[in-house]
Each structure stands twice: as C-alpha cells, then as structure tokens.
Structure 1
C-alpha cells in the first residue's frame, strides 16, 4: 500500500547528515505547531515556522503540519528512507524532494559605536515590557537596579544573574558550574526559562565572541553528561553551542550587531512572540550577554 506523502517546504542544512547517520527513531512529542522525532540522541522538529526556522527543523505548511500531528502517536516508529528521500511514519511519509535547505547566518558586531546604540535601544525596549520573565524577573527592575548590585546585598535570582555575568567574563569554572546548575532546567515548559536565557546569552556571544572556550565546554559537559534539563532544551543548547539558532534569534542578534533600525521592531516582536515566555526569556538572555560584553570591555 502506498503511503500518503506530505512534502516539506524547507529544512535546516544540518538535517540530511543527521538523517543519514541515525536512520531510525521514534515520535518524541506532539503539539499544535508540529512534532519532534528522536533519532539516536538527537531531535528533529517537523512543523510550521511559527517560531522561526529552526536549526534542527523540517518545515511544512500549516495544513500538512496539522495532518501530520493528527496522524502520529508518541513512541511510534520512524525511519529514514534514503531511496525515496523521505521520513516514513506508520501512516504517511514526509518527502524532502521539494524542500529547500536553509542556514540561519550570524553576523559580526560592526563596532563599539553600533554596540552602544543597539544596547540603548534594546534595553529601552525591554524596559517597556510589563510582563515578568518565566523566572519571575521584572526586566525593568533588573536594569534599573543593575549598577547598584553588589556581592554582599544581592540575593535570590539577582545573585545568580550576577553570578552568570561574572562566569561569562572570567575563567572561574566553579562560578560557571554554579550558575549553569541554577539556570539549566529551571522553569516550566518544553524549554525551561533558564535554558532559553542561556541560549540568548550564547546568541549574543555569536556576534561578539567574548565568551571563553571553557564556558562552552563546561555547558556542553553538563548537558551531555547529566539529566539536567528537558530533551528539547538540550537540543536547542546543543545547537547554540555550535552557534546555530532559530531565525527569530539570529535575526534579532544580527540586527543588534549591524545597528539596523529598519528591522528592529519586527525582529524584536517576532522573538517576543515565541512560546509562552520563551521569547521574553531569550531576549533577557541577550541582554545578559550584552551586559556581560559591556562589563568585560570596561574591566
């Protein structure tokens, strides 16, 4: 019996190698905008571009996404058929024959003047947001109080945010370990808020390269060797370590790096709209990255 075929519209340039290497897997999770399949220890997202073009994504239109989500069950077997260039499910297949590969490119920060201008605009925009982050932080209060924070009086999450900034600009592995263990896996959802924040921090480093290699190595050690967060958050972090991000994230940091005013509002709102609080948490992480970069430059 011939299976019904859905056609992908686009896929990350990293997907083919992953499919060829892994071959077989299962349906990991389903939700409104798509589903995740697990092959080996890696996830592949199949669904719409509502949250941007994902570095581990195969994207379908909304109609085909709804059909795919309706037609599968968690735990169902999945396989890659190299001959037909398709991912085969129990009741249908998804072909990549008509899909185009994409790569979400990352820019380099133009200069210090652009950074200062982007920092002012970005922080001003964040201060206009009433909602608190997924970790119950008022970004407005954090920005207002940031310069007055000190080691003796800072408590609660503010203390760990300052710890993370210190870990980002020093080579102190114990600080890195303490900060990562506090934020990784902290919060609700498929991607906990603390993880989204770390992704934002790494995304700003992708345009500035101020973090140490050890910072990346320490993060990788934790996510690969310990059950410290969710499978989906782990996947986003794995790609972030390789400086691969969703288009909503890369567009935002590229706009900051280039000092572009034309796309700023659109890119900001696109990222803000991701998930329940994921977008805001990622934006806050980008701010933490900018503050870390700013602090390192002045030290």
Structure 2
C-alpha cells in the first residue's frame, strides 16, 4: 500500500485549504489527462496542465499523470495526510513537498481606447474560426449579424445569447433567471457548453466590471440551490464567481484588458485548444461579455 510516491509540480494556493478542511475524499471522475477528487462538496483536479493551471488543481508531469490515472478507479478513496503534505491512494501517494504554489492574477481594463483596440483584435481572430460552438452556433455568423446594425430575426440559441446580453445589462431578475437557466447545464460533457460560456462572460467582467452584484447572486443561487448542471461545471462556476480562473482563461482576458498584443495569438490558441469545445465556448462567453460591456458603456 502506498509503495509509490509521485511528486506534484504545482498546486493552486487554494488547494491546501480544501485538503485541510475535508481530508478524506474519493475519485469522482477520471480521463486521459487527470482525474477529479471529491472532497465534501468540492473538487480537486489532479493531472497535467494541458488545459492550463486550474484554481482547484494539483498538477503532475505527463508520465506521473499516466501512472496516477492508470492506478485509480472511480469511487476509490483518497486521504490527505497533513503531516507528510501528501494525498494517499490505495497503491501510491502524491506528495506536494517539491511542488510550487501558484495563483493566477487578473489585470483590470486599462482604458476605453484599449478596450476598443482589443475588441477589434478579438473580433478578427474569432472570425477566422470555422468550427461551431458546442451549442451549434457559428461565432463568425453571429458577429456578422450583430455588426449588421439592424433589427435581426434572432432564432434558436442566438436568440438566447441576445437575451443573455440584455439580462447582463438589466436588473430584471426574471430575465436573468430565464437566460441563465437556458445555458446552465446545456450541452454535453463534464463541463457543458453553456456553462463554459457563462465562465467566459464572468471572466471578462472580472477585468472590466459591468455585471451587477445581483447577477452574481442569481447565478450562485441557481448552481447552489438546484441540480442544474454537472459537478465539474459547478466547481468552475463557483471559482468564477470568486474571480478565480484557469490560467488559459485569465491569460486571455488579461491580454484583452492590458492591450498587450505581443502574445495575443498564443493565449488565444491556448484557450481555443482546451477540451473538445470548451475553449471555443469560453471564447464565445468572453465575446458576449465584451459586447455587453461595450453596449452598456455606449447606452
């Protein structure tokens, strides 16, 4: 038992708080690049940093991740040993002794001029994407319609995107409720597309501040009070409500907020490459956030 020790490379500054609070957990879900541990009502991800540094992550190298993933099954126990600073599983241990602690930092939007320049740059990059989002929306078509500057006959998912933009600018709780309920839990996978999009929306708000406190409260009420989405999506949304994001998301909104376009293409590609459609769905949410912010400012 525990005859093999794997060493973590990095972990979120928030993880020790969860481990010390909950202690004992179990394997919640596993996949090629890692697995999630359920600790009380929270999750901790263990695996590679392929999708960025996660706010609830312990990251291992690729070889260590393969070993760990192949050695666990769903529902297996996981025990935090505070004395040795390690997680104990049935056949191995993950030590944090050599791991570096990290915290992603957000940059506040510099100016309206920076916003306008970033908005155009972001638009131009999005319009090069041919793929549909996880909710079967063409970002390119949506941008073209929105830029047409005339009354559009919005249908299907696009009509709810417009509703979300309106809900994000209003104090109308019924509108907020209807828009959020449409997107939360909508789509396939551990993080449904609608949830990834809401994370993107919140991420741009984190650097620009256009959403009301009530919007945050309404979202929190829905994910905490109802079984409206998956456990993993719920975890990402919980952190987003506290303005904690994966590094792929924070790097993208920081690039938009700072106006520093030297690494813009790289951070855009990094986020786009996350998951099957998670990155694209998050980019769509950031776009909705930028449109909302822009139209709110101009009204």
TM-score by length of structure 1 reads: 0.98
Identify the residue that residue 251 of structure 2 maps to in structure 1. 251
- Is 2:202 the counterpart of 1:217? no
CA contact (8 A) 2:2 2:91 kept: no
CA contact (8 A) 1:151 1:159 kept: no
Q: Which moved more, 1:27-36 or 1:150-159?
A: 150-159
C-alpha distance 244-266 of structure 1, shift in aligned 2 (>3 A): same
CA contact (8 A) 2:145 2:152 kept: no
**What is the Cα deviation at residue 147 of structure 1?**
4.5
Identify the residue that residue 124 of structure 1 maps to in structure 2. 124
C-alpha distance 160-39 of structure 1, shift in aligned 2 (>3 A): same
For structure 1, list consecutive stretches of 5 or more residues without a partner in the other structure: none
What's the CA shift string for 1:194-213, capped at 9, x where partnerless? 00000000000000011001
- Is 2:55 the counterpart of 1:64? no
What's the CA shift string for 1:162-217, capped at 9, x where partnerless? 11001111111111100111000111111110000000000000000110011001
**What is the Cα deviation at residue 158 of structure 1?**
1.4
Identify the residue that residue 191 of structure 1 maps to in structure 2. 191
Hey, what's the Cα distance between the residues in 1 that align with 2:256 and 2:30?
Answer: 34
SS in 2 for 1:131: coil
Hey, what's the Cα distance between the residues in 2 that align with 1:45 and 1:284?
Answer: 24
CA contact (8 A) 1:27 1:74 kept: yes
What's the CA shift string for 1:28-73, capped at 9, x where partnerless? 0110000000000100000000000000000000000000000001
What's the CA shift string for 1:61-112, capped at 9, x where partnerless? 0000000000001001111111111111111111111011100100000000
Hey, what's the Cα distance between the residues in 1 that align with 2:167 and 2:179?
Answer: 7
What's the CA shift string for 1:97-139, capped at 9, x where partnerless? 1011100100000000000000001011101111010000011
RMSD of equivalent CA atoms: 1.2
C-alpha distance 63-179 of structure 1, shift in aligned 2 (>3 A): same
SS in 1 for 2:54: coil
Hey, what's the Cα distance between the residues in 2 that align with 1:80 and 1:37?
Answer: 11
Identify the residue that residue 44 of structure 2 maps to in structure 1. 44
Identify the residue that residue 98 of structure 1 maps to in structure 2. 98
**What is the Cα deviation at residue 152 of structure 1?**
8.3
Counterparts of 1:81-230 in structure 2, within 5 Å, are 81-147=81-147, 153-230=153-230
The number of equivalent residue pairs is 299
SS in 2 for 1:248: helix
Hey, what's the Cα distance between the residues in 2 that align with 1:37 and 1:174?
Answer: 36
Counterparts of 1:231-270 in structure 2, within 5 Å, are 231-270=231-270
Hey, what's the Cα distance between the residues in 1 that align with 2:148 and 2:167?
Answer: 19
Hey, what's the Cα distance between the residues in 1 that align with 2:62 and 2:27?
Answer: 19
CA contact (8 A) 2:203 2:245 kept: yes
CA contact (8 A) 2:6 2:95 kept: yes
Identify the residue that residue 53 of structure 2 maps to in structure 1. 53
SS in 1 for 2:181: helix
